[in-house]
Structure 1
Amino acid sequence: MADDVFDALHGDSAVLPRADSVVLVLVDGLGAISLRAHAGHARALTAGMAKKDVAYSVFPSTTAAALTSILTGAWPGEHGLVGYRVRDPSRDVLVNQLTGWESEGLDPMTWQAAPTIFERAIAEGRPAYAVGVAAYAESGFTRATLRGASFVAAQTPADRVAAAYDLAERNPGALVYCYLPEVDKAGHRYGVDSAQWVAALEEIDGALSLRVPPGVGVLVTSDHGMVDVPAHRQVVLEAEHLAGVRHVGGEPRMLHVYTDPETDAAAVAAQWSSDLRGLADVGTRAEAIAAGLFGPRVTPAAASRMGDLLIVARGSGAVYDGTAADQRGRGMVGQHGGLTPEERQVPLLRLGSFAR
C-alpha cells in the first residue's frame, strides 16, 4: 500500500490514479465482513464497495503489529512489534506495545526501527501530517509509528476527516494520515453487533460523507477486524496448565507463551496442544517463522520478542491466563489477533481522485 500511495503522488502508479495529495484514513477495528454485514448503517462507505475492495491484515491481527505495518510498509518480522504484549529479552519483562513505552522505558527510535511513510515523504520534500486524538499526540507508540509527521489533534471523527482534507487541499503533494478509533473502542466494550458499535460505524460513515477536495485521493482501510467472544467460549488456564511457563503475553486471541529457560519447550507445546485440542492451534516460534506468519523476513530483534510458543484461538474463542492478577480483559467482548477472515479481511476503499 505504501508504494502505491507514493506512486500515485508521482503519477506513475499502475494501481491508483494520480493525485495531488493523498489522505490515508484508518478506521481502527473495522473488518470488511462486519462492514458488509452492516452496510445499511454505512451507505457512504459501501455505496461503491466491490468484492475486490479488500486488503488483509498481518499476523497477529492486532493494532500494534498491523498499524505499524501500514505506516512503515514493513512486516511485523521486520519492524519488530510482533504482538500486543511481548517480552523485552534484555530485561525479561512483558511490555505493552500500545501503552507501555513510557512505563517500561522503551525507546521508540530503536524498538521500532523501520522508517515510517512520513519519514519517506519528508525525504522527498513532501509535507506529512497525522490527524488524530489529542491524548495520543505524545505517546511512545505515536513516536514509534508517526515519526516525521506533524501531529494535528481534532475531537470528533468529522472534525478529524475535515482537518485531514483541509491539510491535503492546502498542501499540494502532502501525505496526510487520519486515525478514527471509535469503532474499535465500541467493539471491544460492547461487541460488533451491538447498538453502540453500529452507532460508532454510523458516525464514521457520516464523517466520510464529507466532500473530498478536488485533486485529493483518499484511501480508507483498517488494521484489523473483530470477532465477538461469548462467555462460554472463554478458555481459562489455571496453574496446573502453566507448569514450565514464565510469561504469558500477546492477547487472548493470539498468545505469546514464554517458557522457563530450563523447561523443554517441546514438552510444553505437546501439553498445551492436548489441553487446547479443538480450541486453539499451538505452534513454536520456529514453526511460525518458517511458515512466514510474521512475513518473509524476520530480524533477530523481532524473533527475540516472540514467544517460545504461539497459541492462536479458533472460531470465536479466546484463551486467558487465569493466574494473572488483572482479569479485566475477560470482560472484553470484541477481540482480534487471530487468523479468521473476520479478523484479517479489512476494507480498502477509494474516494476522491482515487474513486473508480
Structure 2
Amino acid sequence: MARSAPHGPAPQEPAVPGVPGEVPDEAAPLDPRGAPVPRYGEGSLADLLPAVAAGLDVPGMTSGLGLKPADRACVFLVDGLGWDLLADHPGEAPFLHSLLSTSRGGTGEPITAGFPSTTATSLASVGTGQVPGVHGLPGYTVLDPATGGLMNQLRWQPWTDPHAWQPYPTVFQLADAAGIAVCQVTAPHFEHTPLTRVALSGGTFHGRLPAEERMDFAADRLGAADRTLVYTYYAELDGNGHRHGVDSEAWRGQLRYVDRLARRLAEQLPPRSVLYVTADHGMVDIPREPESRYDFDEDWELRAGVARLGGEGRARHLYAVPGAAGDVLAVWREVLGERAWVAARDEAVELGWFGPRVDDRVLARIGDVVVAMSDPVAVVATETEPKESELIGMHGSMTPAEQFVPLLEVRT
C-alpha cells in the first residue's frame, strides 16, 4: 500500500523558540515544515503533460493545471532554464522574456519542478505525469534496496531493469495508444538510454544533432497530422551553467542561443498549434569558499553514522548505518540546520516533499535523512564525487531559483 502525505504548507518563517521579543544567542535550525514544497497537483512539471494530453482528448488524462486545448502541441524543454534566471536576463533572451507574465502582453507563469529539482527526477515527472514519490526517481543518486548500493538515475549506473524501477506508462505512450501522432525530437544518443525508456518513450524517436535542425523537424512533425504531440529538448544551457556558472559569459551566450532556437520553432508553428517552453530546474552558483562547500569526505562529524551519501550537493539523501538515523539527523541539523531544511524520511514524506503519495517500492530509495539547502551552500564529496564537487552551478533544492521554471506559451 502506498503512503499518502498532504500537500505541504505555504512557505513560512521558521519558528524561533524563546521568550517573545528576545533575540536568541544562536539562530534555531530551519523548521522542515517551512520548506516551500512544490505545487504538486496544481502547478508542477508532473501536471504539464497530463494537461496537454487532456486537451488532445487522451482518455483518463486530468490535471490541476488548466491549459487551453489545441490540436497540435509541442513541448520544448530547456535543461536548466530557471524562471528567475530568465527573468533576470531580458537582454540575452528578448523573445522568451516577452512571453513572461511580467512583460507586456506575456502570459507565461512559473511552475515548480518538484523535489529534488534535478534532471532525472524532473524528466520522469514530465514524461509520466507522476510525482517523484510515485515514478520512483527521487534524486540524482539513490539507494537501490535490492543491492544496498547507490544507483545513478541520470546515467543509470549500475544498470537495473528500467521498467521494474519505473513501471508506469508515459503520457506519450498513452497518447500514442489514443491515436495521437507522438514523437520525440532530440539528440540521437538519447534514443536508447534507460531514462528515455522509462520517462520519455512513446510514438517515434527522431534523432537530430544540430539544434536548429531539431527545431525545424519538430515544427514539421507538428503539422504532419491533425492531432500531434511533439517533445524536443536542449541540454547545453545546463552544461555551461554547471561548468562556468550562471554568472558567466559562456552561460549568457547559451541563453542567447536558446532564445534564437525558441523563436525559430515558434515562427514555424502550423495552424491550430501551441508551443510550451519549460525547463527541468533552475540553478544557483555556489561560491568556492570552504564555508559554502561542506566536504563530506573530510568532515568526520557529517560522516559519522552515514553508510551511503546519496543525492547531490544541493539535495542529499543520507542512508544511515542501522540504529544511527536519529543521531545522523541531530548532527546534520546542528551543523547545517540554519542553512538547510533537514528532515527524517517519514517527516519529508508526510510533508509532501516527494508528492502527495509515495509508493512502497520507492520509500526505501529515500534517505533516512533528507537535506535540502536553503542558503547558497552545498555538501560536496571531493574524493568520492570529484567531478560533481568541482561544479560551479548546482541545483536540487526547493529554493525559488532552483524550483521555479517557466511555462511559456505561443499559439497559432
TM-score (norm 2): 0.81
Q: 1:29 aligns with which of 76, 80, 92?
A: 80
Q: 1:352 Cα deviation (Å)? A: 2.7
Q: 2:99 aligns with which of 44, 48, 51?
A: 48
Match of residue 257 from structure 1: 318
1:295-310 mapped onto 2 (5 Å cutoff) = 295-310=355-370
1:258 aligned counterpart, secondary structure: strand
Match of residue 337 from structure 1: 396
Q: 1:265 Cα deviation (Å)? A: 0.8
Is the Cα contact below 8 Å between 2:75 and 2:231 reproduced in 1? yes
Q: 1:239 Cα deviation (Å)? A: 5.1
Q: Which moved more, 1:5-14 or 1:53-62?
A: 5-14
Inter-partner Cα distance in structure 2 for 1:208 and 1:36:
16
Inter-partner Cα distance in structure 1 for 2:341 and 2:57:
44
Residue 129 (structure 2) pairs with residue 78 (structure 1): no
Match of residue 116 from structure 2: 60
Q: 1:19 aligns with which of 70, 73, 88?
A: 70
Structure 1: which amino acid aligns with 2:283? Answer: M
1:167-219 Cα shifts (integer Å, max 9, x gaps): 01112211110011121111111111211111111111111112122222111
Match of residue 147 from structure 1: 201
Is the Cα contact below 8 Å between 1:22 and 1:216 reproduced in 2? yes
1:72-125 Cα shifts (integer Å, max 9, x gaps): 11100000000000010010000100102xx42211112111221111111211
Is the Cα contact below 8 Å between 1:158 and 1:208 reproduced in 2? no
Please provide the CA RMSD for this pair: 1.8
1:281 aligned counterpart, secondary structure: strand
2:56 aligned counterpart, secondary structure: helix
Match of residue 276 from structure 1: 336
Q: 1:160 Cα deviation (Å)? A: 1.3
1:48-82 Cα shifts (integer Å, max 9, x gaps): 31046211110111111111111111100000000
Inter-partner Cα distance in structure 2 for 1:299 and 1:292:
13
Residue 265 (structure 2) pairs with residue 214 (structure 1): no
Residue 236 (structure 2) pairs with residue 182 (structure 1): yes
1:223 aligned counterpart, secondary structure: coil
Match of residue 161 from structure 1: 215
Inter-partner Cα distance in structure 1 for 2:299 and 2:67:
53
1:217-228 mapped onto 2 (5 Å cutoff) = 217-228=274-285
1:220-241 Cα shifts (integer Å, max 9, x gaps): 1111100011112111122522
Is the Cα contact below 8 Å between 2:53 and 2:171 reproduced in 1? no
Is the Cα contact below 8 Å between 2:81 and 2:281 reproduced in 1? yes
Q: 2:407 aligns with which of 338, 348, 351?
A: 348
Structure 2: which amino acid aligns with 1:68? Answer: A
Inter-partner Cα distance in structure 2 for 1:76 and 1:252:
19
Inter-partner Cα distance in structure 2 for 1:15 and 1:304:
34
Match of residue 26 from structure 2: none
Is the Cα contact below 8 Å between 2:83 and 2:282 reproduced in 1? yes
Match of residue 170 from structure 1: 224
Is the Cα contact below 8 Å between 1:158 and 1:206 reproduced in 2? no
Is the Cα contact below 8 Å between 2:52 and 2:69 reproduced in 1? no
Runs of 4+ aligned residues of structure 1 deviating over 4 Å after TM superposition are: 11-14
1:10 aligned counterpart, secondary structure: coil
Inter-partner Cα distance in structure 1 for 2:241 and 2:203:
28
2:364 aligned counterpart, secondary structure: helix
Inter-partner Cα distance in structure 1 for 2:365 and 2:281:
21
Inter-partner Cα distance in structure 2 for 1:273 and 1:63:
27
2:379 aligned counterpart, secondary structure: strand
Structure 2: which amino acid aligns with 1:224? Answer: H
Inter-partner Cα distance in structure 2 for 1:68 and 1:187:
22
Give the percent of matched residue pairs that are identical in Structure 1 and Structure 2: 37
1:300-328 Cα shifts (integer Å, max 9, x gaps): 11111011011112221101235x43412
Q: 1:282 Cα deviation (Å)? A: 1.5
2:342 aligned counterpart, secondary structure: strand
Q: 1:334 Cα deviation (Å)? A: 0.8
Match of residue 387 from structure 2: 328
Structure 1: which amino acid aligns with 2:311? Answer: G
Residue 253 (structure 2) pairs with residue 199 (structure 1): yes
Inter-partner Cα distance in structure 1 for 2:49 and 2:74:
12
Return 5+ residue gaps in structure 2 as ranges. Answer: 1-47, 103-107
Inter-partner Cα distance in structure 2 for 1:204 and 1:250:
28
Residue 304 (structure 2) pairs with residue 243 (structure 1): yes
| Residues 1:288 and 1:15: Cα distance change in structure 2 (over 3 Å) | closer
Match of residue 163 from structure 2: 109
2:147 aligned counterpart, secondary structure: coil
Is the Cα contact below 8 Å between 2:50 and 2:171 reproduced in 1? no
1:310 aligned counterpart, secondary structure: strand
